[in-house]
Amino acid sequence: MLLANSTTPHCDNSFFYLTGFADGLFEHSYLTVGNDGSLSLLTSEMEKLIAEPKAKGISISTQSPKEAPEDELRKLVGSLTKKIGLNYSELTVQALQGIKSAFKASKFIDVSEPLRRARLIKDEFEIQLIQRACDISSRVYERIPAIVDRQGITESEVAARMGFEAQKMGSGSVPFDTIVAFGRNSALPHHFAGPDKLRKGDLVLLDYGAKCDRYCSDVTRTLVFGRSTKTQRDMFSVVREANEMGIDNCVVSNKGEEINSKIGAFLESRGYRVLHGYGHSIGLAVHDDHGLDNNPDYLKPGMVITVEPAVYLPDLGGVRIEDDILITKGKPRVLTSATRELIEL
C-alpha cells in the first residue's frame, strides 16, 4: 500500500493514522505499508527531524533534489511490485499521475474502504485523545458568559476568543472554522462568523471544537442573549429532547441511518422540516466518515459519532445541540459534558 501526500490541505489523514505523527505537515511525503506490515517513509530532510524521534520502527529515507520523484518512489516501493494499494479517496490527480508514471507495469487497487473501516473503530489511545479534545470544548463553553460579554460584540470576535480559550487549555488548533451565528444567522447551518453584531434577544449558535494530537471534538450549543421568548424555548425544548433520544439510541443494535430517521421523524412530528443529517463519525477528521443519514451499518463498539439535531426558522434563527458519543457494548458514553440547559446571558 502506498499513501501519497500532496500540499496542505491535501494530506491523507490515514498517513497520520498509520504513523502516529502528531506534528509536522509531511507535504509531498510518501508512506508504504508492506505485506508484512512494515512501514517505510520517504520525506524531506525538514520533516525527518520530526519523524525520527517518533518513528517507532518506521524506516525513513529522505528525498533528494537531484533525483526524479519517480525514481525515488521505485526505490521506496520496489520496481517489481505487481499490485499497489492506493487510498483513492485522498489522492490528487497529479499525485496519481506521478505514481502511475513510476509503476507502469503495476496494477492499482483502491484500499480506501478498508482504511475507512479501520479508522472508524477507535482504540483506547484514540479515545483518550478525543476525550481530551471533548473536555477542552466543554470547558470552553463554561467560559461563554465571559466571552459573550456585551451587546455589540461581533461573531468574529467571539469565534477568536473561543479559539484562544481552547488553545490556552491545550488544544493544538481549532479543527474547523468556528461557527458563531447570531439571530437569523443561526438558521444557516454552516454560517461563517463575520462582522454581525450581537443584539438583545438573539439566539446564539456556537459550533466549535478542539484538537489533541490531531484528534477532534465537535460540539454545538445554542443560547439566548437576554430573555428567551416562548418560541425560542419551544425550539430549544424540542431539540434537546431529540438530542437525548438520539443519544439513547446510540447502541450496537441500531444502524446509523435508523437513528437519523428516528430523530428526523420526531422533529417533523413537531412541525419542523429536515434540513440535514443529524450526526457523523469523528476522529482525525471532523467528518471522519459518512454521516448518520447515509450509514446503513450497525454501530460497533469503538465508534465515536456526533448526535446533532437542529431546527431552523429563517425569520428567527436556529437551535442545534451536538454531542460526541462513544459507542460501547452497553450504554453509549457521552464524551462532551457541556450543559444542555438553556442559558440566558
Is the bond preceding residue 69 a cis peptide, omega within 30 degrees? no
Is 2.70.98.40 the CATH classification of the domain at 2-119? no
Average pLDDT over residues 267-296: 91
Query: What residues does each domain of the chain span?
Result: 2-119, 121-334
End-to-end Cα separation, the chain, in angstroms:
53
CB 158 within 8 A of CB 188: no
Rounded Cα distance between 13 and 29, Å, is: 13
The structural architecture, per CATH, of the domain 121-334 is Alpha-Beta Complex (3.90)
- In this prediction, what percent of the chain has a pLDDT beyond 90? 88
Rounded Cα distance between 199 and 58, Å, is: 55
Give the model confidence (pLDDT) of 40-78 as tens digits. Answer: 999 999 999 999 998 888 999 999 888 887 888 888 887
Helix (H), strand (E) counts: the chain: 10, 16
Average pLDDT over residues 127-154: 98
Q: Which three cell numbers stand for residue 318?
A: 436556529
Give the model confidence (pLDDT) of 225-259 as tens digits. Answer: 999 999 999 999 999 999 999 999 999 999 999 99
Average pLDDT over residues 95-120: 94
The predicted pLDDT at position 80 comes to 63
- Whether pTM exceeds 0.75: yes
Confidence class for position 79, pLDDT limits 50, 70, 90? low
Give the model confidence (pLDDT) of 284-329 as tens digits. Answer: 999 998 788 888 889 999 999 999 999 999 999 999 999 999 999 9
